[in-house]
Structure 1
Amino acid sequence: MDNTTTTTELSLFEKIGGMDAVLAAVDIFYAKVLADETIKDFFDTTDMVAQKRKQTAFLAYAFGAPLQYTGKNMRDAHAPLVEKGLNESHFIAVATHLKDTMEELNVPAELIAEVMKIAGGTKNDVLGL
């Protein structure tokens, strides 16, 4: 008898609850972002329906969903915001809202740490560094 077992490691996307969880997170996240006086002006001319759709696709992809992300890269997508003054304090504010969103959704701390590692890995591109 063969005692080997095959285990498939779940992606972060699956661990946090799949597309339903990502959709909920994006809604809560943008409510926080748009209520934040320090960053909301960056979204003054943004089509938020389209923005939420892009953010959902990006997060799902970044978290390991089995789909292709076809949006702009982080550097190109954020270049106009950098020209408007986007800086590290704004990045930290957004990251904090993402962390708070995950906590509000009762995502386990170890998964939040994974989310924040992914978010932190985008900093240089987002800020054009």
Structure 2
Amino acid sequence: MTDSLYERLGGEDAIAAVVDEFYDRVVADEQVADYFDDVDMQRQRAHQAQFISSVTGGPVEYTGAEMEAAHEGMGITPSDFRAIATHLDDALAEFDVDNDDREAVLEEIASYKSDIVTAAD
């Protein structure tokens, strides 16, 4: 049996480490950091780790808000979405996730783009 993407990423602890690196990059980026000004980042990191674990086939059920509801009224643009995705890709690369698995994670995230992006560039 082939390992799930979740298992190939290293499971819960490894995904949590990637998420920490990801948000360190995001909040340092002037283009997108403002989206997180009033956000409980500990809670956000936990939700993101849960979400990534869920969409990569882990034994985790995502219990956060639906993507559209969670991002409603935020005015996220396509370029903001790309910046966030780049930070995720870079965080995955920082932990030596291979190209195919990084692409698979990004494809999962991209499948939610229409629920997240609500404004034009």
Identify the TM-score tier after normalising by the shorter chain.
Answer: over 0.9
Moved over 4 A (4+): none
Aligned to 1:43: 36
From 96, 102, 124, the equivalent of 2:86 is 96
Unaligned runs of at least 5 residues, structure 2:
none
Q: Deviations over 1:63-109 (max 9, x none)?
A: 11112111111110011312xxx111100000000000111110011
1:34-113 alignment, distance < 5 Å: 34-82=27-75, 86-113=76-103
Give identity over the alignment, percent.
38
Unaligned runs of at least 5 residues, structure 1:
1-7
Contact 1:63–1:115, Cα closer than 8 Å, also in 2: yes
TM-score by length of structure 2 reads: 0.94
Please identify the structure whose Cα radius of gyration is greater.
1
Number of equivalences: 119
How far is the alpha carbon of 1:128 from its aligned partner? 4.2
1:11-50 alignment, distance < 5 Å: 11-50=4-43
TM-score by length of structure 1 reads: 0.88
Contact 1:75–1:128, Cα closer than 8 Å, also in 2: no
Q: CA RMSD in A?
A: 1.2
How far is the alpha carbon of 1:62 from its aligned partner? 0.8
